[in-house]
Amino acid sequence: MPRPAVVWFRDDLRLADNPALTAASAGNAAVIAVHVFDINAEPRAIGAASRWWLHGALETLTADLAAHGVPLLTLAGPQRETMIRLVDRLDAASVHWSRRYEAGGVSIDSALKTHWRSQGRVAHSHKATLLHEPWEVRGRTGDPLRVFTPFWRAARATGEPPPPLPCPAALRGATVADADSVGAVPIAALGLRPTRPDWAGGLRATWSPGEAPAHRQCRAFLETGLDGYGEGRNRPDRPMTSALSPYLRFGHISPRQLWHITGTAVQSAVSAASDGDVDKFRAELGWREFSYSLLFNHPTLHRHSVQSRFDAFPWRDDPAGLRAWQRGLTGYPLVDAGMRQLWTTGWMHNRVRMVAASFLIKHLLVDWRLGEDWFWDTLVDADPASNPASWQWVAGSGADAAPYYRIFNPVLQGETYDPKGDYVRRYVPELARLPASLIHRPWTATPAELRAAGIALGETYPRPIVDHATARARALAALETLKPNADSRRINVSTKNQ
């Protein structure tokens, strides 16, 4: 009996444009698909919202593979030991997987590749989750680029990404006589979905994990969101973002597919978007690429500041403030709307993510790592590179970071990007009856205006837990403690509209 080829699925849960699957099926080899859930994965296991997503993703992948006669074996346990045991029992001729870039995963993959090759098996990793490998984009000196604009310029100079691969035409599955004997368990046995309590109702109402839903969402974005994306993406009150981030994070759709789909849509008039809109969308893919370059070159990105001077920053211990932020009860409507959107749907608009993160870090002086941890647990698109890189960008501690003196004013941000208050009304319904002129600053309303809106500040909706001007001054004073590196002349520049 011919020996099978194993495809180890991780963050590439799709059939099309999956180089590992294509390579495994070459030569009419019979394929067995595998997913290993490791609750003790290094450097950390995925969060609760991502586990919910993964359950649905594995169900749809199982069905998609079954349509081609390919079994998906789901297993639980330490990745290295589990895969060695499985491949031995299957006596696989080859093992294929998509490359990953976290230090812990790289170490496991390197050890497995060495082990399997020593046994005479083919063991091959493939580029599938990025447009460019982190080592492919370098500066003139050969060093990693630490600023986004030159990074993206260098990446674009490498040329257009090749066209995406189709689903393998000759895909066929191997027979697994006894899945139990190789340690396979039902997806439900992985314990990915919450039960007591079941808090995932909002996630179920918002998302459908899987490759087909990813492409449906992509088509909807091309038809209604790409045109005007360059400016509209900043408006949380409008459906102008792609909402593709969780699909991209779990690999239901690839960056290479998105790159070519957006260009083709404009060329074929599927979308009325301009080249500028496409460039802006592709630049967002570029930020993802840049984040992975940072992660690859800074393996502890989620725990240690890229700029070591921030190790001495005087963070405050403020459990009450952190809890108010997590629950969406800060008294700043835009921040609260974002945090409640996150809790309800497992997702938050990117502009609001920046404002909410800035509020925790700079208004409350709470360590960015605590905010990153919360997002890691509650986002369905919690990405090991983009999540910590974005938090460090806001904190000012990253490689290409927002200057610390850039402190978002949540009131001005709300009035600029949610001018009618529609976003706030959706997620903070207790403020719904306030007029647009007051909805982002309810504490300025008169008693009569509050009564008319059915609001009792401090009871039905909190007063601000910190004054913006006071918090800004405190944050800048904290930055001064990092001298001599801090540049006080730059700190005092105008922050109007920020």
Domains and CATH numbers, the chain: 1-128 (3.40.50.620), 130-163+211-297 (1.25.40.80), 308-491 (1.10.579.10)
Which residues, 6 or more positions from 374, have their beta carbon under 8 angstroms from its beta carbon?
326
Q: What's the average model confidence in pLDDT over 133-151? A: 94
Name the token pair of 312. Answer: 């001495």
Would you call 343 a catalytic residue per the annotation?
no
What are the Cα distances from residue 78, in Å, to 13, 179, 443?
Answer: 20, 18, 52
Would you call 368 a catalytic residue per the annotation?
yes
SS3 139: coil
CA distance linking residue 293 with residue 147, whole number of Å = 11
* H-type alpha helices, 34-96: 48-66, 79-90
Check if the beta carbon of residue 71 is closer than 8 Å to that of residue 32: yes
Range 110-130 burial, b when 16+ CB lie within 10 A, else e: eebbeebeeeebebbbbebbb
Q: Residue 4 above 50 pLDDT? A: yes
Neighbouring C-beta atoms of residue 19, cutoff 10 Å: 21
Neighbouring C-beta atoms of residue 196, cutoff 10 Å: 5
Q: At what angle do helices 275-297 and 148-156 cross, to 10 degrees?
A: 110
Half-sphere CA count of 118, side-chain side, radius 13 A: 7
Check if the beta carbon of residue 65 is closer than 8 Å to that of residue 176: no
The catalytically annotated residue of 42, 133, 199, 350 is: 350
Split at pLDDT 50, 70, 90, the class of 485 is very low
Range 426-457 burial, b when 16+ CB lie within 10 A, else e: bbbebbeebeeebbbbbbebeeebbeebebee
Which residues, 6 or more positions from 452, have their beta carbon under 8 angstroms from its beta carbon?
433
Q: What is the pLDDT of residue 484?
A: 57
Q: What is the pLDDT of residue 291?
A: 97
Q: Output 145 or 42, whichever has higher pLDDT.
A: 145
DSSP string, 429-482: GGGTTS-HHHHT-GGGS-HHHHHHTT--BTTTBPPPSS-HHHHHHHHHHHHHTT
**How big is the CA angle at 428 (ends 424 and 432), to the nearest 5 degrees?**
75
Query: What is the residue whose two structure tokens read 């189709």?
Result: 166
Q: What's the average model confidence in pLDDT over 223-228? A: 91
Q: What is the pLDDT of residue 275?
A: 87
Which residues, 6 or more positions from 377, have their beta carbon under 8 angstroms from its beta carbon?
47, 48, 49
Q: Residue 23 above 60 pLDDT? A: yes
Neighbouring C-beta atoms of residue 459, cutoff 10 Å: 9
Q: Which of 254, 248, 274 is nearest to 263 (CA)?
A: 274
Would you call 391 a catalytic residue per the annotation?
yes
Q: Residue 413 above 80 pLDDT? A: yes
Q: Residue 347 above 90 pLDDT? A: yes
154: phi then psi, degrees, rounded to nearest 5? -65, -40
Would you call 347 a catalytic residue per the annotation?
no
Q: What's the average model confidence in pLDDT over 248-277? A: 89
DSSP 46: -
Would you call 152 a catalytic residue per the annotation?
no
CA distance linking residue 336 with residue 378, whole number of Å = 15
Would you call 284 a catalytic residue per the annotation?
yes
Q: Given the DSSP bridges, would you call strands 94-98 and 5-8 parallel, antiparallel or unpaired?
A: parallel
The catalytically annotated residue of 52, 287, 347, 393 is: 287
What is the chain's length? Answer: 498
The catalytically annotated residue of 52, 53, 347, 368 is: 368
97: phi then psi, degrees, rounded to nearest 5? -155, 160
Q: Output 241 or 488, whichever has higher pLDDT.
A: 241
The catalytically annotated residue of 8, 52, 97, 391 is: 391
Q: What is the pLDDT of residue 425?
A: 98
What are the Cα distances from residue 270, in Å, to 166, 263, 264?
Answer: 21, 10, 8
The catalytically annotated residue of 42, 136, 199, 315 is: 315
SS3 127: coil
Q: What percent of the chain has pLDDT over 70?
A: 96
Stated pTM of the model:
0.95
Lowest mean pLDDT among 84-98, 206-220, 412-426, 476-490: 476-490
Each residue of 337-346: pLDDT tens digit?
999 999 999 9
